[in-house]
Each structure stands twice: as structure tokens, then as C-alpha cells.
């Protein structure tokens, strides 16, 4: 059931004081299984095994630098890498065993990378306390959490849930229900389809060429929306909003900022109901607006080309501009 090739090398170079550990393993699985990775430091990269074999191929490299070789070996020994297979679920773990405080003197450095290939149809549950996570070219349920790195997802098919406390998130050509959150970086989504629910407390948000509804918000950054084929909701407390909308509008649009202006570019034949208001600046439109109430400098409320989906725009920190695309 399991074919294993194991190679472990511990070396110490006096001048560099580096202890390195390398591990390679292969596991026979069936398509549709699940990979679970739970580690306390290191980056994780998971991609499709294109060889046609139903195997999970694991390559691990860990490097530790301390003043003394004994400290390096003790650090790795405290965090053994374990493998377990239960049916079609493979679990890889490396967590510190002792609860006692760990201390050492002088300069130190820890590096680790887990490179794993799985069948193209496979689920992933990945967690690291200190490194980035990347998943690409898979169909299945993808979950990723890191406390100290960025997230990168490419060519995924299926539900996606990604969370990081300290890095940016990049999503490219993914299809499915996409839920992403970061407390310390920006969000970029390019291509794909399904739905997006994205939140960041510390960066800008960009969504381009996505086929489906998108709901995003940020506390400290701008928002860019371009050619989203679905309902759009965008909120920021710390930046401007720029949107390029298609015609006809596939869904309602709601954009709001407390720290900048709002600029919307849309084809001149687009038909929609406009509700725009700013507390600091002017609201202007290059497309004629058939007002349904008294026009004011900071407010536009009426129909464009006979009306249709609602375009709701709010700004507390800048002007609002509707421009002809």
C-alpha cells in the first residue's frame, strides 16, 4: 500500500553552523483523497502529480542555524516529522513536543519547505505557523491557514478557504466558492469564476475578470474592481475605489469608502439606477442622469438609460465620478 523512499541527512558546517534535514517519501492513494499538513514552521507547496500515478510524493527540506550544532539538532528533534495514512487520508505533522520554553543565545535561523505532489483530484487541509502556502492545479476542497506568510492559489477547481495573519493573498484562475481573509496584506484575484468573499485589515484589494459575485472589504487600502460578472460589494475605510463595470450590468453594485473617492467607468449604453452621495466633494456623471429628486452638488439619484440594476455609491472622504468607458 505504501512505497517509501527515505533519505535523511544531518550535516553541520563549522563556518556556517547549519544542520540540514531532507526527507523524501511516496504514498499510494486513490483520487479524491485528502492531504492534511500541520506544521509549526515552514512553507507548504502542493501541486498536481501529472505522472498519471495515484501517488503522493513528499519532499521536505529543513535547515536550522545556531551557534552550536547540538542546539540545531535539539531543535529538530523537538519537532519530529510524522506521517500517517488512514485509508485515503494522508497526514503529515511536525509540532513541538515539549511545552517548556525554548531559548538559545546568539544568531539563529529556521528554514523549511514542504513540496508535495498529489493526484489532480484531491482535497487539501494545510496549516503552518510560520511560512507561506501555495496550491495549484487541483480539483477538490482546498483549505489553507498560516500565521506568518502569504497565500497563493492557482488553477483550482472547487471550494477554497484561505486565511493568513501576516501576508498577501493571490488567487489566479480559480473556480468555486472562494473565501479569503488576511490581517496583514493585500488581496489580488485575477480570472476565474464562482463567488468571492474577501477581507483584509491591512492592504488593498483587486478583483479583475471574474465570473460571479464578489464581496470585498478592507480597513486600510484601496479597492479596484474590473469586469466582474455578478453582484459587486466593496467597502473600505482607508482608500479610494476604482471600478470598471460591464454592460449590461449582471448584478447590483454597492461601493462605499470612508477614506477616498469613488470612480466608476461604464459603457455609455449601460442602463442602471444610480444612487450616489458624498460628504466631501462633488458627485458627477458623464452619462445623463434622469433625476428623481432635486439635484445637488454632492448627490446624484436617478435613472441612466431607463434604469435597471442599482449602482449605489458612497464616499465620506472624496468625490464620486461616473465616467464614460
48 CB-contact burial (10 Å; exposed 0-12 / middle 13-18 / buried 19+): middle
Q: How many residues does the chain have?
A: 325
What's the confidence (pLDDT) of residue 14? Answer: 41
Q: Half-sphere exposure of residue 320, counting CA atoms within 13 Å on the CB side?
A: 25
The average pLDDT across 313-325 equals 93
Where are the alpha helices (H) located in 40-150, listed in sequence order?
69-77
* Distance of alpha carbon 324 from alpha carbon 321, whole angstroms: 10
What's the confidence (pLDDT) of residue 146? Answer: 95
Output 62 or 73, whichever has higher pLDDT. 62
Q: Which three cell numbers stand for residue 181?
A: 481573509
DSSP string covering 160-225, please? EEEEESSS-EEEES-EEEEEEEESSS-EEEES-EEEEEEEESSS-EEEEEEBS-EEEEESSS-EEE
pLDDT tier at 200, thresholds 50, 70, 90: very high
Where are the alpha helices (H) located in the chain, listed in sequence order?
69-77
DSSP string covering 22-33, please? EEEEEEE--TT-
Domain spans in the chain, listed from the N-terminal domain onward: 1-131
What's the confidence (pLDDT) of residue 12? Answer: 38
pLDDT above 70 (res 262): yes
**Percent of the chain at pLDDT above 90?**
72
What's the confidence (pLDDT) of residue 3? Answer: 46
Q: What is the pLDDT of residues 12-34, one digit of tens each?
A: 334 456 888 899 999 999 999 99
* Distance of alpha carbon 216 from alpha carbon 203, whole angstroms: 12
Contacts of residue 268, Cβ cutoff 8 Å, sequence gap at least 6: 286, 287, 324, 325
What's the confidence (pLDDT) of residue 103? Answer: 54
Among 6-10, 231-235, 301-305, name the one with the lowest average pLDDT: 6-10
The average pLDDT across 134-145 equals 98
CA 35 to chain centre: 19
What's the confidence (pLDDT) of residue 73? Answer: 78
The average pLDDT across 164-191 equals 95
Mean pLDDT of all residues belonging to the chain: 90
Amino acid at each position: 500500500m505504501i512505497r517509501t523512499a527515505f533519505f535523511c541527512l544531518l550535516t553541520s558546517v563549522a563556518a556556517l553552523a547549519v544542520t540540514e534535514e531532507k526527507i523524501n517519501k511516496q504514498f499510494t492513494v486513490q483520487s479524491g483523497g485528502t492531504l492534511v499538513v500541520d506544521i509549526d514552521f515552514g512553507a507548504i507547496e502542493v501541486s498536481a502529480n501529472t505522472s498519471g500515478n495515484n501517488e503522493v510524493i513528499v519532499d521536505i527540506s529543513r535547515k536550522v542555524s545556531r551557534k552550536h550544532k547540538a542546539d540545531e539538532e535539539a531543535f529538530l528533534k523537538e519537532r519530529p516529522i510524522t506521517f500517517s495514512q488512514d485509508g485515503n487520508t494522508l497526514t503529515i505533522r511536525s509540532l513541538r513536543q515539549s511545552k517548556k520554553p525554548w531559548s538559545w543565545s546568539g544568531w539563529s535561523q529556521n528554514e523549511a519547505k514542504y513540496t508535495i505532489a498529489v493526484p489532480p483530484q484531491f482535497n487539501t487541509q494545510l496549516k503552518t505557523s510560520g511560512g507561506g502556502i501555495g496550491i495549484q492545479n487541483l480539483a477538490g476542497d482546498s483549505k489553507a491557514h498560516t500565521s506568518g506568510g502569504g497565500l497563493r492559489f492557482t488553477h483550482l477547481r472547487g471550494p477554497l478557504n484561505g486565511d493568513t495573519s501576516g501576508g498577501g493573498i493571490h488567487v489566479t484562475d480559480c473556480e468555486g466558492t472562494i473565501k479569503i481573509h488576511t490581517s496583514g496584506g493585500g488581496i489580488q484575484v485575477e480570472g476565474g469564476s464562482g463567488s468571492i468573499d474577501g477581507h483584509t485589515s491591512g492592504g488593498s484589494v483587486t478583483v479583475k475578470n471574474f465570473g460571479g459575485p464578489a464581496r470585498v472589504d478592507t480597513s486600510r487600502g484601496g479597492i479596484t474592481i474590473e469586469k466582474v460578472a455578478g453582484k459587486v460589494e466593496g467597502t473600505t475605510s482607508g482608500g479610494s475605489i476604482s471600478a470598471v463595470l460591464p454592460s449590461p450590468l449582471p448584478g447590483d453594485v454597492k461601493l462605499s469608502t470612508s477614506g477616498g473617492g469613488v470612480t466608476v467607468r461604464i459603457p455609455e449604453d449601460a442602463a442602471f439606477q444610480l444612487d450616489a452621495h458624498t460628504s466631501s466633494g462633488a458627485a458627477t456623471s458623464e452619462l445623463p442622469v434622469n433625476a428623481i429628486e432635486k439635484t445637488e452638488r454632492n448627490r446624484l439619484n436617478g435613472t441612466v438609460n431607463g434604469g435597471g440594476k442599482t449602482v449605489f455609491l458612497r464616499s465620506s472622504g472624496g468625490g464620486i465620478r461616473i465616467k464614460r468607458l
